[in-house]
Amino acid sequence: MSLQTVYSSIEQPTECNTYADIEAAYNCLKEKYGVADEDIILYGQSVGSGPTIDLASRLPDLRAVVLHSPILSGLRVIYPVKRTFWFDIYKNIDKIGLVNCPVLVIHGTSDDIVDCSHGKQLWECG
């Protein structure tokens, strides 16, 4: 998901605004094009996995979710903490269990930005 720079009229790329952007894209598919949830596959890459998992956790009838090099959370990319703190962002590890549809996790073992343990742990918790 990289909607913030493409579709948003909001200037600040905040966590909350990225959630609003994916929600707007989803609503457009539903309202303008009449696409059913059962026909929607969400895709999120890296930080984009945050808005993707957040939306998927609230939509029980999605076809599927594809996560490419997903993050456990924003803080966990920088430092390997074991618990979620209130100030952390994109708390994917706390939301992945709420996703009801099939989830495909793709994560390279040579990823220099997000360690592949993020993808593995999300897959195990999903």
User: Domains plus CATH for the chain?
Assistant: 37-125 (3.40.50.1820)
Give the Cα separation of 36 and 38 in Å (integer).
Answer: 5
Give the Cα separation of 3 and 45 in Å (integer).
Answer: 12
The pLDDT tens digits for 30-54 are 999 999 999 999 999 999 999 999 9
Q: What percent of the chain has pLDDT over 90?
A: 83
Identify the helix (H) or strand (E) that includes residue 77. Answer: helix 74-78
5 pLDDT higher than 70: no
Provide the sign of the torsion angle of the four alpha carbons 54, 58, 59, 64, taken in this order.
positive
Q: What is the DSSP letter of 110?
A: T
The pLDDT tens digits for 99-112 are 999 999 999 999 99
Q: Which of 35, 40, 71 is closest to 53 using CA atoms? A: 71
Helix (H, G, I), strand (E, B) or coil at 29: helix
Rounded mean pLDDT, 74-80: 91
Global confidence as pTM: 0.88
What pLDDT is stored for residue 38 in this prediction? 98
The rounded mean pLDDT for the chain is: 92
Q: Tell me if 108 sits within 8 A of 69, measured CB to CB.
A: yes
Helix (H, G, I), strand (E, B) or coil at 44: strand
Q: What is the DSSP string of 76-110?
A: HHHS--SS--TT----HHHHGGG--S-EEEE--TT
